[in-house]
């Protein structure tokens, strides 16, 4: 069974993780806006590992919290920090949803551009195939030398 001090340490760690995740999300948003997909993949890789750690720690915190026979009592500082964690988590989820929406919109726009570009290429190819080039030389000689 965890102690109050261990739960408080977990709150501190969660707060640190969420702070880093929000900083990475700021980088992610800028990278999406700039269209730098390679950098986005790097950021998402870092975030994925941190998110997995955060989820694991949060699950452990819940189990430890629930293991107390009576509700554990935290100082005001830790109660406020835990509330801040909850707010930060909600902010993170909202910003992630917005990033996903932006990426989906961008993907759809790129897809439409590709379809339009492909249609234009097909039209040009079709038009190009129907135009017969004029023969250059080797035609009928109408001059009269006789």
- The domain limits of the chain are 4-121
DSSP-derived letter for residue 67 is T
CA dist list (Å): 116 to 44, 135, 140? 31, 34, 44
Contacts of 91 (CB under 8 A, 6+ apart): 22
Q: For 47-92, how does the pLDDT look when each residue is reduced to its tens digit (9 = 90+)?
A: 999 999 999 999 999 999 999 888 888 999 999 999 999 999 999 9
- Residue 26 near residue 95 (C-beta atoms within 8 A): no
Q: Is 27 exposed, middle or buried (0-12, 13-18, 19+ CB in 10 A)?
A: middle
Evaluate if residue 94 carries a pLDDT over 90.
Answer: yes
């Amino acid at each position: 069974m965890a102690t109050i001090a261990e739960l408080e340490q977990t709150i501190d760690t969660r707060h640190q993780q969420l702070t880093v995740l929000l900083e990475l999300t700021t980088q992610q948003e800028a990278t999406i806006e700039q269209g730098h997909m390679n950098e986005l993949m790097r950021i998402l890789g870092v975030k994925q590992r941190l998110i997995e750690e955060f989820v694991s720690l949060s699950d452990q915190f819940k189990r430890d919290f629930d293991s107390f026979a009576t509700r554990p009592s935290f100082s005001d500082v830790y109660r406020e920090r835990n509330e801040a964690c909850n707010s930060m988590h909600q902010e993170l989820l909202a910003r992630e949803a917005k990033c996903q929406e932006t990426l989906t919109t961008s993907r759809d726009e790129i897809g439409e551009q590709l379809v339009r570009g492909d249609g234009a290429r097909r039209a040009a190819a079709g038009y190009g195939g129907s135009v017969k080039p004029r023969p250059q030389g080797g035609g009928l000689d109408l001059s009269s030398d006789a």
